[in-house]
Amino acid sequence: MHDKNNDLPWFDLCTTEVYTNPYPTFEKMREHRVCRINKDRFYALTRFEDCKEALRNYENFSSTSYTSFLYPDWVPEICRSDLFMLSEDPPEHTVHRNILRQAFGRSAIERLREIVAPVATSLVADIQPDVPINLVEKFTLPFVGTAVAEMMGTNGLQNYEAIKKWLTILEKISTTRPSDEELEALTVIAHEQRELFKTILAERKRVPTDDIPGQLVAAEVDGKHLSDEEFFSALELLARAGFETTLHAISHAIMELAERPPLLASIVEDHSLIPKFVDELLRYQVTGPCIFRMTRKPVEVGDITIPANSRVAVLVGSANRDSDQFENAEAFDIYRPNNANSISFGFGVHKCIGSALGKMELCVALETLFSRFRRVTVHNINWCPTYMVRGVHDLHATFTE
């Protein structure tokens, strides 16, 4: 009997062309309900409804093997994290999500806003008008780094350069074993970060606080508190998700506004448009375009059966450009009635619990930048060389008052 899976089209996402602009490739992939990608032999879903169902249905598409995608055998134990809820399904996931939710209420968002807003104001004040700058270096990195340090409780103990160094080394983990020197550096920095987390945990246990780490220590569901290891994993997840997502989203915002001077002029005059802009930005440019799942059993998608224990790439970056869900999906339209229905932050039980916090940071950054400046020009972009992250290492731009 002929196996239709052998006829599935293959797409290579590990190319400079895709890193720079994946959307033409995503459009070709959406011609098929199921594709294969790269040499890893992943199955891939690209259409909105298929991706949404895969994210919703954890009984078919499980997250429990998520860390197997991230940590090859060579990775030392000190460097491995289960990334907390990211690698869980209900019922364990439900308990941990309810604990984390207690630390991410409206008060936490307002507390963080009070901290990052003055940081944004100070950073914008240092930008010279009509002088080219690397926005990532001069604004985005210190702004987001301050927010992440506050979320982890490391303000005063660890600056944003150290956070960036730690996360950058973690990002280099791949299927290829690094040199002995690189492996030693990874081990050392992972150990240093773990010791820092132990200090934070001990302090919060000794003196309760109302910041996010303090609330994580105090939170409980049905008498259950986080274990020490779960606490460490939760902080690492907050850092990795909160840092990368917001860092790259700010760069995307500046690039999109630089291409659309009339839209920027409207936002400069009316900041109430910024939340609408942010929702459309997150649909249009997804910083994490690929979410991984593993099939628990054979799953039918159209006339294709994905075998049990198959790795599946849920390409939300493609799904958000699906014209069956979003009319004229390739257009950037802040007045789109359903732009907030994108699945950039996931869907169902695994929808990102920090999405409101990330949106707040984006809004604060844009409000502050465009309270002072009226125009921006982008000169040079250095894209991240991976299909798993849609972002830039450097963004050179000039702001004009």
Q: What is the DSSP string of 57-98?
A: -TTTEESTTHHHHH--TTS-GGG---TGGGG--TTHHHHHHH
pLDDT score for 188: 85
SS3 34: strand
Helices and strands per DSSP (H, E), number in the chain:
16, 11
Torsions phi, psi for 331 (to 5 deg): -90, 145
At 305, give phi and psi (nearest 5°). -105, 115
Q: What is the pLDDT of residue 2?
A: 57
CA distances 329 to 24, 277, 324, Å, are 13, 15, 9
357 CB-contact burial (10 Å; exposed 0-12 / middle 13-18 / buried 19+)? buried
> What is the average pLDDT score of the chain?
89
CATH hierarchy code of domain 4-400: 1.10.630.10
Of the pLDDT bands very low, low, confident and very high (cuts 50, 70, 90), residue 69 is low
User: Would you say 206 and 200 are in contact if contact means Cβ atoms under 8 Å apart?
Assistant: no
Residue-by-residue DSSP string for 205-260: HHS--SSHHHHHHH--BTTB---HHHHHHHHHHHHHHHHHHHHHHHHHHHHHHHH-
Confidence of residue 157 (pLDDT cuts 50, 70, 90): confident
Are 315 and 26 a contacting pair, CB within 8 Å? yes
65-74, 116-125, 189-198: lowest mean pLDDT where?
Answer: 65-74
C-alpha of 398 from chain center: 26
Q: Where residue 71 falls among pLDDT bands split at 50, 70, 90?
A: low
Give residue limits of the domains in the chain. 4-400
Distance CA(62)–CA(298), nearest Å, equals: 12
pTM: 0.91
State percent of the chain over pLDDT 70.
92
DSSP helix, strand, coil percent of the chain (3-state; round to 5): 55, 10, 35
The first and second tokens of residue 331, run together, are 């257009």
Provide the pLDDT for residue 317: 96
Whose structure tokens read 């274990």? 227
Burial class (CB within 10 angstroms; exposed 0-12, middle 13-18, buried 19+) of 290: buried
Task: Give, in degrees to the nearest 5, the angle at Cα 23 between 19 and 26.
Answer: 105
